[in-house]
Amino acid sequence: MTTQTTYWLEHAWLDPNVEPGVAVDVTADGRIAAVRTGTETPPPGATVLRGLTVPGLANAHSHAFHRALRSTVQVGSGTFWTWREVMYGVADRLTPDTYHALARAVYAEMALTGITAVGEFHYLHHQPGGTPYEDPNAMGEALIAAADEAGIRITLLDTAYLSAGFGTEPDRHQRRFSDGTAQAWAERASLLKERPHARIGAAVHSVRAVPADQLGTVAQWAADRRAPLHVHLSEQTAENDACQAAHGCTPTQLLAEHGVLSARTTGVHNTHLTDADIALIGRSGTGTCMCPTTERDLADGIGPAVALQKAGSALSLGSDSHAVIDLFEEARAMELNERLRSRTRGHWTAAALLRAATADGHAALGWSDAGTLETGAVADLVTITLDSVRTAGALPRLGAETAVFAASGADVTDVIAGGRRIVRDGEHVLVGDVAGALTSAIAALH
């Protein structure tokens, strides 16, 4: 009986450098047993991965059902708020079965691009109108099952979403998001169970959606479990203005006052912050998840990622609304957005951007043992071809720069997640026809 598998990597990104000829031994339980550099030829029986291999990518912020909006919301003009109305229409039509089918296809699409773990910011809890399903976590369970079937890990960030705005009851679309109170949310979320591929975290949808006097309940639930806690933060200036009117402070200050900021917390977007906000986030060790493709798609703005990182906030990346699903593009966009704003180049090295997409993203989701090619880590290997029309011609030792600044998810050829091969030669091993699965799942919602 085979207890160990060996992979020979033609080139491997061993943070911060690219090394040629690396052998990686993987145990039967999906851990890296050894990493051997200077292995010029494949050992007998080794599986050969040609190209550049990097650790698995972590998509730290996802709303899986938003994938059904791609292209539809690109028609005409508008704002975040008009986009949101279209989004609500799709949300209204989802059931546990249709959500499972859609999420399974979306997570398989992620796998094809090298993503081995996803943080699902989940607030579609109940039936339209707000009546709970017989299983009050039917929608969350559908997502957990979908990730398993697509071969990736999931951190289900079960989200408290209780109001339409400061002091406003949920509207007809939002009733299915709400548990009524943070305590009722906590009781339902406590019924969710972790599995080898699934961890349970918490989320505050936003300061608009959770009354200030209930923020502490969500924060304490996460603290008691040492679980990740995520929050949409200052994505829109309108949120800042409304918070100032209601509480006389910024959203960041409000979260700090109620114990939400911490080293286990990640603020998503963190776009429109004051210098004092940035200092609060940094001092508390709160992370920042940037979602550049969504932030530019929704015309949200460019967040102060450089200042946040300098203040002490670890950066991760997410595809959020899935206008595209490509963590290489998210990494590239974070740097290029900053270049446009500052008119200077080189705010992050390629290695630093890959780190945000791998180790730091996994850490933000509670998988601190993943995202690196090191002994003892979860065995996630993602191989990028170095001879596509996008990647051909560069020196292999510059593979990190090629991956971040030239490659796309379409250049991923092979993915091993937790020691299991889920993508082979660009094809998903478990789902098969991912495009067909997406087409049928999305058609069922229109």
Please list the residues that pair with 32 across neighbouring strands: 26
Give the separation between CA 272 and CA 287, rounded to whole angstroms: 15
CB-based contacts of 157, cutoff 8 Å, min separation 6:
119, 120, 121, 122, 201, 202, 203, 228, 230
> What is the Cα 18 distance to its own chain's centre?
25
Q: Give the chain's end-to-end CA distance (angstroms, integer).
A: 49
Q: Which one is catalytic: 320, 326, 380, 411?
A: 320
**If DSSP states are collapsed to H, E and C, what string results for 190-221?**
CCCCCECCEEEEEEECCCCCCCHHHHHHHHHH
Known catalytic residue: 320?
yes
Give the separation between CA 426 and CA 413, rounded to whole angstroms: 4
Q: Which amino acid is at 146?
A: A
Order of strands, sheet of 198-204, starting from the edge strand that comes earlier in the sequence: 57-62, 115-122, 153-160, 198-204, 229-233, 265-269, 287-290, 315-317
Q: Which one is catalytic: 125, 269, 322, 428?
A: 269
Structure tokens at 37: 């550099």
CB-based contacts of 172, cutoff 8 Å, min separation 6:
129
Known catalytic residue: 322?
no
Phi-psi region of 55 (alpha: psi -120 to 50; beta: other; left: phi over 0): beta
Structure tokens at 321: 């609304």
CA-based nearest residue to 20, from 412, 398, 407, 419: 398
Answer yes or no: are the C-beta atoms of 291 and 317 closer than 8 Å: yes
Give the separation between CA 44 and CA 71, rounded to whole angstroms: 48
Structure tokens at 360: 């730091």
* Residues marked as catalytic: 269, 320
